[in-house]
Amino acid sequence: MKAPRFRKEAAVFFFFFCLLAVCQTFPTPADRDTLMILEQFQFTGGNLLTTEKELQVNYILKKIKGKEIMEGMKTGKFAPAMHFFRAKELIEQSPVFNIIQMMPKGAGLHLHEYALLSVDWLVKNATYLPNCYICFTPVGGVRFHYFHRMQQRKMVNCSEWVLLEQYRRQIQNVTEFDNSLMRNLTLITENPEEAYQSQNIIWQRFSDAFAAASSLISYAPVFKTYFYEALKEFYHDNVQYIEIRALLLPVYELDGTLQNKTWSIMAYHEVARQFKDDHPDFMGTKVIFSVHRKSNNTEMKTAIYEAMELYNKFPETMAGFDMVGHEDAGHPLWYFRNELSIPAKLGVKLPYFFHAGETDWEGVHVDENILDALLLNTSRIGHGYSINKHLVAKQLSQKLDVALEVCPISNQVLMLVSNLQNHPAAALMAEGHPMVISADDPAVFGARGLSYDFYEAFMGIGGLKAELTTLRQLALNSINYSAMSAQMKVEAIKLWQKKWDQFLDAVVHMFNSDEL
Amino acid sequence: MKAPRFRKEAAVFFFFFCLLAVCQTFPTPADRDTLMILEQFQFTGGNLLTTEKELQVNYILKKIKGKEIMEGMKTGKFAPAMHFFRAKELIEQSPVFNIIQMMPKGAGLHLHEYALLSVDWLVKNATYLPNCYICFTPVGGVRFHYFHRMQQRKMVNCSEWVLLEQYRRQIQNVTEFDNSLMRNLTLITENPEEAYQSQNIIWQRFSDAFAAASSLISYAPVFKTYFYEALKEFYHDNVQYIEIRALLLPVYELDGTLQNKTWSIMAYHEVARQFKDDHPDFMGTKVIFSVHRKSNNTEMKTAIYEAMELYNKFPETMAGFDMVGHEDAGHPLWYFRNELSIPAKLGVKLPYFFHAGETDWEGVHVDENILDALLLNTSRIGHGYSINKHLVAKQLSQKLDVALEVCPISNQVLMLVSNLQNHPAAALMAEGHPMVISADDPAVFGARGLSYDFYEAFMGIGGLKAELTTLRQLALNSINYSAMSAQMKVEAIKLWQKKWDQFLDAVVHMFNSDEL
């Protein structure tokens, strides 16, 4: 499952052997082949053994992929080099995407609770429930709330609440209105470069879309159905397990009753169990309790104590703790070093899954998060986009086997990088650095499940060097680096392997390799 | 001058020491400081010792730089994150740029012969010479030629040759016409993303601008003056030495006589000597004979024999051999392995300075150029943009001390990367990988000398981690990795050191550190 221990040493041995050969004589084609094999060997998945069937599928995949990349190189129209909003249609036409959709992808380890499920479900279902009110904010956003009685409306701060049912009856074009709601819940726009002129601007819009979604999802009946439907969407995208970052904000009942964090954790647990009952080939879900990185030290201290308590009470569902929000604009991790060291000081276990390095700004305060996350003993790194600029952090992450959660589409849409061929994970993949692929907020970006991000990673970040074994390694990584228990991992791998074998058969069946 | 030999070993020792400390206990601020110092130590220039005066200037520089970066982070308007055509004005207002202009930058090692000098000189001088004809090409480009007699015009293939002097007399707005000529000689445009929709498209326009410039510069009287003026522009930008890639195309006299490659080499030599006589604090120039990578094997063989002959005849001026043109569209280096191995087989010395890895397309044929350049014993790598995706090539380049010639603005304008904070050299700088900064084709991009590229490298690629020692190391690298003889390098360093000391004094004099 994991890269065998001898890998690095073998590589180094090979390397000096080759170096010696190169320096002594003019290189022969055989020298060159050796070096190229060595390079491929160190690539993510490059050292995995393959079955006969895998070789067959790899042959098919390489043919199709090569054709698509060469076409992109010739025409200049290549999805990973384009903004996802423009590339999406192109991706959907790709046979490589089709294969990736079919493939069992293992686990989605970096996802946020309010952006799991395509927004049309929210608009077409949640906003059509009785008692759903809307309020238009001065900056062009929307908020929703379900009220049972008129007087409740004063309790929730917004300029004017209108009953949606009534509002829809008054307007001429309900379809257009519903589409506008969907736009409010995503970042999708025709000309993103013009609409979002800076990272600060897009993060404002991003937070607003989040707030709009959360105002619907925080209604107890929506909350549970939303999560069930989200699991279904991932399940249909051939994902076997997810871990979600959740703020655990109060969920409310129609009568105004507010539920606490325990209620939310239990609701997640219950829905996941129900889903697993209905779909036995799904592995389940875990929650990473997260607070905003703009919190102050007192709030952080409270959150850490709550997190320890929840982790103790719900070990099956609670995976650990993290901080969320625009990294550049928030406090650096080191600002909370005292609060974050409380569990260690008390000898209490609380795994961390810190976002870190989601920035282009090398050397500023928040840019040290990448090192600090490791110093604070993080189990994985959310994004780690800037890690290549931090040699010590990169070495620590490799040696301590702390995987990065790479979210290509998120990094592109949130303006860290435009052409995904330039994503820093390309260098990390070349080194076989521990990583998993995830989708961050698929709903807000107009994606669905993990397939779009896997496509971008496989085609754009990996380039022609990424083969079937890269996909296999990424899927296996996602289980290996998850917060599942050891026993659960064994089960998950077993389940995944079965699905993988079926997937291989399906690809061979679909593509006649003679025709390629 | 160079990084001391113990650097890497010391770093590794430190690293494991720190790793041990980290794993055993919860990290203290002191652990963190140690790791951060280690990271800074491995950064380009991070291990250079500093004088008192350098510390003083570094203090000033860090203040000014920090302010500019923080402002960019806040406003979202940060030159290295913007397209150079839009960023240029902003850069010119920057006090950091001002300091970089004053700084002795050493050598410019990656430059092309027809794009050295700002195009206004060509338009305002060369096109106003007697006998200058213009021809408008069907794709909206221009070509120039100097003819003495009418009948000569038929010999040079273009639809219709018009005497410029006469043409200018007929048109209403000569200034506007001259500006249009300047636009033809550069890629500058208001909306580059719209004008150049793919790398293939911009490379076509790029080649056309080159052809237009070369049609002026290939006229013998222009040829020599152009080169003298180019040296002046670099000299005034505080550059002490340059190496140019030159196709050595036939230069023609007014009577139609064509001069050969020997003539061109001698002309470069002569002009450089004259310039050095006039400016004793300039170190000179060398030429890297280059052929187009679309050449066939026979042409390449001829070129290699010519190169060996020229290298033998003009050891002082000829530095070696390279290939030029759009890498993605040309033959890979390996295609010419037989021709390129001729010198080694004959036991004749011919240093190579291969362009390699100027591509976003990982794993395609030309992407192996980066490894092949090293296998073919290149002295430096032109660009090496893709090297992070090639672990073996990267390790070879580091171990064999083969420097990359990093040209930030060129990579951005030619659409390899949009935000220079994402340039792969950022990771290389963090590792202290051997590199120099150069400008490639400053004239075509609207830059001048090396200062703009140094600014982008210092602010965008290096981020806040790059300090005065980074600039010093980059300047010293440029001398160290040049094709100068050992003795010439000693002289160059001596000259540079004197200028560096003057530069430090000037900065201290200009900025009152109390006021910062």
Reported as type and span, the H/E element at residue B302 is helix B297-313
Is B244:B110 a contact under the CB 8 Å cutoff?
no
Q: Is the predicted pLDDT of residue B150 greater than 90, yes or no? A: no
Flag whether B43 is in a domain. no
Give the model's pLDDT for residue B6: 43
To the nearest whole Å, the CA of A299 is away from the closest chain B CA by 22
State how beta strands A435-437 and B132-136 pair: unpaired
Nearest by CB to B26, which of A341, A362, A422?
A341
Q: Is residue A491 part of a domain?
A: yes
CA atoms within 13 A of residue B448's CA, in its CB half-sphere: 18
| Pick from B18, B77, B371: CB nearest A35 | B371
pLDDT band at B17 (very low <50, low <70, confident <90, very high): low
pLDDT band at B357 (very low <50, low <70, confident <90, very high): very high
CB-count burial class (<10 Å; 0-12, 13-18, 19+) for A129: middle
Half-sphere exposure of A28 (CA within 13 A, CB side): 7
Q: Is the dihedral of CA B111, B115, B119, B122 positive or negative?
A: positive
The CATH number that applies at residue A473 is 3.20.20.140
Query: Known catalytic residues of B?
Result: 358, 383
Of the listed ranges A143-157, B76-90, B468-482, the least confidently predicted one is A143-157
Is B126 a domain residue? no
Model pLDDT for residues B116-127, shown as the tens digit of each residue: 999 999 999 999
- Sheet containing B403-406, strands listed edge to edge, beginning at the edge strand earlier in sequence: B355-356, B380-383, B403-406, B435-437
Per-residue confidence (pLDDT) for residue B251, from 0 to 100: 98
pLDDT tens for each residue of B162-191: 999 999 999 999 999 999 999 999 999 999
What is the DSSP-derived secondary structure letter of residue A19? H
Single out the catalytic residue among A110, A331, A355, A383: A383
* Burial of A36 from C-beta contacts in 10 A (0-12 / 13-18 / 19+): middle
A263 in reach of chain B (CB within 8 A): no
Number of domains into which chain B is organized: 1
- A345 in B contact zone (CB under 8 Å): yes
A201 has a chain B CB within 8 A of its CB? yes
Gap between the Cα atoms of A471 and A105, Å rounded:
8
The whole domain housing A81 covers 1-11+50-115+242-516
Residue A8 scores a pLDDT above 60? no
Inter-chain residue contact B26 with A344, CB threshold 8 Å = yes
Mean pLDDT of chain B: 94
% of chain A with per-residue pLDDT over 90 = 90
Rounded-to-integer distance, Cα B452 and Cα A408, Å? 31
In a domain, B161, yes or no: no
pLDDT confidence tier of residue B513, bands split at 50, 70 and 90: low
Q: What is the pLDDT of residues B410-443, one digit of tens each?
A: 999 999 999 999 999 999 999 999 999 999 999 9
Across the interface, do A15 and B424 touch by the CB < 8 Å criterion?
Answer: no
**Given an 8 Å threshold on Cβ–Cβ distance, is B389 in contact with A426?**
yes
- pLDDT tens across A313-341, in order? 999 999 999 999 999 999 999 999 999 99
Helices (H), B25-163: 29-42, 52-75, 84-92, 95-102, 119-124
On whether the CB atoms of residues A439 and A411 are closer than 8 A, the answer is no
Residue A358, phi then psi, degrees to nearest 5: -85, 65
Task: Give dist(CA B333, CA B340) in Å, integer.
Answer: 9
Choice between B404 and B9, residue whose per-residue pLDDT is larger: B404
Q: Does a structural domain hold residue A428?
A: yes
* Mutual angle of helices B391-399 and A29-42, in 10-degree steps: 110
The alpha carbon of residue B216 is apart from the nearest alpha carbon of chain A, in Å, by 32
Segment A110-133, tens digit of pLDDT = 999 999 999 999 999 999 999 999
Locate the DSSP E strands across A131-178. 132-136, 142-146, 162-163
pLDDT range class, residue B5, cuts 50, 70, 90: very low
Kindly report the nearest CA distance between residue A487 and chain B, in angstroms: 26
pLDDT at A462 over 50: yes
Instruction: For chain B, say whether A327 makes contact (Cβ under 8 Å).
Output: no
Residue B259 has which token pair?
């001069």
The listed range with the strongest mean pLDDT (A148-152, A361-365, B299-303) is B299-303
Phi, psi angles (nearest 5°) of residue B91: -60, -45
Band the pLDDT of A487: cuts 50, 70, 90: very high
Please report residues of B whose CB lies closer than 8 A to that of A74.
Answer: 200
What's the pTM?
0.94
Tell whether A371 is within 8 A of chain B (Cβ). yes
Candidate from A18-22, A135-139, A305-309 with smallest mean pLDDT: A18-22
B349–A contact, CB cutoff 8 A:
no
Q: Are B39 and B466 in contact (CB under 8 A)?
A: no
Is residue B240 helix, strand or coil?
coil
Classify burial at B12, counting beta carbons within 10 Å of its beta carbon; exposed 0-12, middle 13-18, buried 19 or more: exposed
Q: Once rounded to an integer, what is the mean pLDDT over residues B221-247?
A: 98
Specify if A121 maps to a domain: no
The pLDDT assigned to B91 comes to 98
Grouping H, G, I as helix, E, B as strand and the rest as coil, residue B244 is strand
- Phi and psi for A366 in degrees, rounded to 5? -65, -20
A176 is catalytic: no
Examine the pLDDT at B369 and tell me if it is beyond 50.
yes
Arithmetic mean of pLDDT over chain A: 94
Q: pLDDT digits over B372-402, tens only?
A: 999 999 999 999 999 999 999 999 999 999 9
Confidence of residue A3 (pLDDT cuts 50, 70, 90): very low
Whether residue A388 is contained in a domain is answered as: yes
Question: Could you tell me if residue A224 is inside a domain?
Answer: no
Query: Are the beta carbons of B76 and A200 separated by less than 8 Å?
Result: yes
Q: In angstroms, what separates the C-alpha of B364 from chain A's closest C-alpha?
A: 6
